[in-house]
Structure 1
Amino acid sequence: MMASEAEKTYALLQSCSTESLISSFGLGIFCLAADRLLQFSIIQQSDWIRALSDNAVHSVIGMWSWAIVTGVKKKTDFGEVILAGFLASVIDVDHFFLARSLSLKAALTLPQRPFLHCSTVIPIVALTLKFTVHLFKLKDSWYFLPWMLFISWTSHHIRDGIRHGLWICPFGKTSPVPFWLYVVTTSSLPHVCSFIMYLTGTRQKISSKHGLCIDV
């Protein structure tokens, strides 16, 4: 019991540590700088450069966000960080599915937004993953995956929201997200998720996996 309480305390403190807060501030600065840089004419003039740069920023934000949650301590932890970046960027593949073409021009000129860009999909997929992990008793290996997907996809949607608003099925779209709100929300998202994960017990498991040692 003592170890359990110590793990809980450590997990909560780690999510609000000076290191994680500085990392979040850095993430906010990156969001601010990256999206300003993407407005340069040399990037906007090429569809390929614009699309790849935009997707790369999504990926970096996903990796950075998950690194804040886990507090990367070991080389093996980078595998999770890379996976978070992949999840944050892979959403855009639905552009090609809706276009039914591998043409970038077709993918960028869709008459409507593709299905993975509906924000209602995020909790549905995350809960489905959580149920699947529980059903197949994969909790020790993949318990973090629903949370990683939630953070990665949510950061992608919020960033897209500064241009198109959030599409919340079946209620429609919101107004475009103010840029300052995007930066603040994205940089604080890892801490909000960490706190919810703490309440559900997942944060303690992640803290233990990523280098926590408790003496009983």
Structure 2
Amino acid sequence: MAVPLNLAVETEKAQALLQTFSTASLFASAGLGAFCFVADHFLTLPFIQHHLWLRALFDNTVHAIIGLWSWAIVIGLRKKSDFYEVILAGFLASVIDLDHFYMAGSLSIKAAVNLPHRPPLHCSTLIPALCFSLRLLMWACRLKDSWCSLPWMLFISLTSHHIRDGVRHGLWVCPFGNTAPISYWLYVTITATLPHLCSVLMYLTGTRDMISTKHGVAIDV
């Protein structure tokens, strides 16, 4: 009996992985890439560029939308709690820009966008460190499996933000310095495919199984 049961479990896992690349998720990813293109070009309009606060606000909003859209592709939207999750992902993708004001030591938007060095949360080396630390903290606090996706949410929110910023500044890989700026279409491609990469990594680490149990169904994203 053990062999058929194990076979059924493995079959269910394989189906869940294949659903990661379902038609709906691929359309959602294409829409995400299109949104990046439209939003970034909207940012270049003169009336946006001539108002510093408006430009910063819109730029940060785009970060938030990319973060929540990416996480929505990963988990799907089936329950009310799913909407709370994607909103949290969007918040995480945008809130890290507050470190500009922290480093500037001022609420002046001009000072915040003209820093001599990049602010601390924009160091890409911190992403795996923060995600792993959060996972350890959750394990130490013995949080329920329903929280198991938090490190991955943090990963996709921060990574999407850093990749988009990388078009202008490259990635800050401490202690090695900055990479060359990321080409625009590479940024769009990475952003559109990042949710699927995240889903595969979650599958390989067993996180998707826990989330499927949490949602009551095999996740179809």
For normalisation by structure 2, the TM-score amounts to 0.93
Q: How do residues 5-154 of structure 1 correspond to structure 2 at under 5 angstroms? A: 5-154=10-159
Shift of 1:75: 2.1
SS in 1 for 2:117: coil
| Residue number in structure 2 paired with 1:168 | 173
The 2-side partners of 1:179 and 1:113 are apart by 20
The 2-side partners of 1:20 and 1:210 are apart by 17
Shift of 1:45: 0.4
The 2-side partners of 1:21 and 1:207 are apart by 20
Q: Which amino acid aligns with 1:170?
A: P
* CA RMSD between the two structures: 1.3
Q: Which amino acid aligns with 1:128?
A: S
The 1-side partners of 2:115 and 2:185 are apart by 28
SS in 2 for 1:192: helix
Larger mean Cα displacement after TM superposition, 80-89 or 200-209: 200-209
Assess if the C-alpha contact under 8 Å between 1:118 and 1:167 holds in 2: yes
The 2-side partners of 1:154 and 1:109 are apart by 22
Assess if the C-alpha contact under 8 Å between 1:164 and 1:176 holds in 2: yes
Larger mean Cα displacement after TM superposition, 58-67 or 97-106: 97-106
Shift of 1:38: 0.5
Shift of 1:116: 0.4
Q: Which amino acid aligns with 1:142?
A: W
Deviations 1:105-146 (A, max 9, x none): 111111110000000010000000011111111142311110
Shift of 1:61: 0.2
Deviations 1:65-109 (A, max 9, x none): 000000111222100000000000011010011011111111111
Assess if the C-alpha contact under 8 Å between 1:72 and 1:210 holds in 2: no
Shift of 1:208: 2.9
For normalisation by structure 1, the TM-score amounts to 0.95
- Within the candidate set 195, 207, 211, 2:212 is matched to 207
Give structure 1 stretches of 5+ with no counterpart.
none
Shift of 1:176: 0.8
Aligned pairs, number: 213
The 1-side partners of 2:138 and 2:205 are apart by 15
The 1-side partners of 2:88 and 2:15 are apart by 25
SS in 2 for 1:162: helix
The 2-side partners of 1:137 and 1:10 are apart by 30
Shift of 1:7: 4.0
Shift of 1:10: 3.5
Larger mean Cα displacement after TM superposition, 67-76 or 175-184: 67-76
The 2-side partners of 1:86 and 1:4 are apart by 35
